[in-house]
């Protein structure tokens, strides 16, 4: 993937995340999603990822401590959806799902119509077993969302 000047900070952060993930044996896989994975990232983009943690290490994985090694944190909290939301010292925002690897990776193919990963091999930063890459490749072909279900979901979220 070529580095666009406006995206260099995000590209650098993702490269560092890949390094840290490979060094942490508690992680089975890391999957990026969002603007970077579909080639739409710009200088204001955030970083979004699923951390698939070996099931027996879920309790001892400290997400904020791990992410503080990526870059200093100004804010870290678990939002109302159970997602670890952070703001790094350079004001880049991030969302990180800390998920048990067993059921979490199995769920990835069910995202068809909601998540599109045109380059799934780029989106997978770590895959110790091959399961995550296989699951992510099922999202490579764009499938438009079902209109009625999508409209109802968006209406529900707006109402909430």
DSSP for 115-131, written as a single string: ---SSHHHHEEEESSSH
Domains of the chain, earliest start first:
5-159 (3.30.460.10)
Q: Taking each helix axis as running N to C, give the angle between helix 8-23 and helix 63-70, from 0 to 180 degrees, rounded to the nearest 10.
A: 130
pTM across the whole model: 0.87
User: Which pLDDT score, from 0 to 100, does residue 76 have?
Assistant: 98
Three-class DSSP category at 28: strand
Which residues in the chain come in under a pLDDT of 50?
1-7
User: Which pLDDT score, from 0 to 100, does residue 4 have?
Assistant: 44
Contacts of 82 (CB under 8 A, 6+ apart): 97
User: Which pLDDT score, from 0 to 100, does residue 147 have?
Assistant: 85
C-alpha gyration radius of the chain: 16
User: Which pLDDT score, from 0 to 100, does residue 38 have?
Assistant: 87
């Amino acid at each position: 993937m070529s580095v666009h000047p406006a995206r260099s900070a995000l590209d650098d952060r993702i490269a560092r995340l890949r390094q840290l993930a490979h060094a942490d044996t508690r992680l089975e896989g890391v999957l990026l999603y969002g603007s970077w994975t579909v080639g739409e990232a710009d200088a204001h983009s955030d970083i979004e990822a699923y951390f698939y943690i070996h099931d027996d290490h879920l309790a001892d994985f400290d997400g904020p401590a791990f992410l503080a090694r990526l870059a200093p944190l100004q804010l870290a909290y678990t939002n109302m959806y159970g997602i670890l939301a952070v703001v790094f010292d350079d004001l880049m925002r991030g969302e990180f799902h800390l998920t048990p690897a067993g059921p979490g990776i199995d769920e990835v193919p069910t995202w068809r119509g909601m998540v599109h990963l045109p380059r799934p091999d780029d989106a997978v930063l770590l895959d110790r077993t091959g399961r995550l890459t296989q699951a992510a490749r099922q999202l490579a072909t764009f499938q438009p969302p079902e209109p009625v279900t999508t409209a109802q979901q968006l209406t529900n979220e707006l109402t909430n």
